[in-house]
Each structure stands twice: as structure tokens, then as C-alpha cells.
Amino acid sequence: MEYRLLRGDAQGALAASCDNLDGELAAMTWARNWLAHNADHDRYRLEALDGRRPMLMVRTVAKQWYAIPVAEN
């Protein structure tokens, strides 16, 4: 399954993508690893290209990354 990270929100620039992930847990693990080494912002959006719910990736003051499901209407 293919996932991508966008800087900021849905209109943000593409930061990274990966096309060989097995599911949401693998995508969050990949995203956290990529963000820990490459992030230049404190918010990213993790999206699956098959239309699954997106996740907001947020960096805390302690430099931890959390995935929050985005509720879209």
C-alpha cells in the first residue's frame, strides 16, 4: 500500500512517500522514523493513496511524534 507525508496539512508540499507498506501500523512506524530524522516542521499529514482516513502527525515539545486520526466531513 502506498502512503505519503505532506508538510502541514492536506495542501502541504509532499515531504516523502513509500509504496510498499502493509497497513496503517507499518505506515505510522515508517512516518515516525522518517520524521525523527528529516522533519523541519512540527505537523505533517500521513495519507494512504487508497482513500483511507488520513492521520495528523504532530511533534510534541519533547520531540515525540503522535498520530491523530483526522475527522473529515
More confident residue, 6 or 8: 6
Q: Identify the bridge partners of residue 43 per DSSP, sorted by sequence position.
A: 58
pLDDT tens column, 15-67: 999 999 998 999 999 999 999 999 999 999 999 988 788 999 999 999 999 99
Q: 3-class DSSP state for residue 29?
A: helix
Q: Could you state, in order of their start, the residue ranges of all structural domains in the chain?
A: 3-69
Supply the pTM of this predicted model: 0.87
> Element (H or E) spanning 38, and its range?
helix 24-38
User: Helix or strand or coil: residue 53?
Assistant: coil
Indicate the burial class of 51 (C-beta count within 10 angstroms; 0-12, 13-18, 19 or more). exposed
Contact (Cβ atoms closer than 8 angstroms) between residue 50 and residue 1: yes
Asked if residue 73 has pLDDT above 60, the reply is no
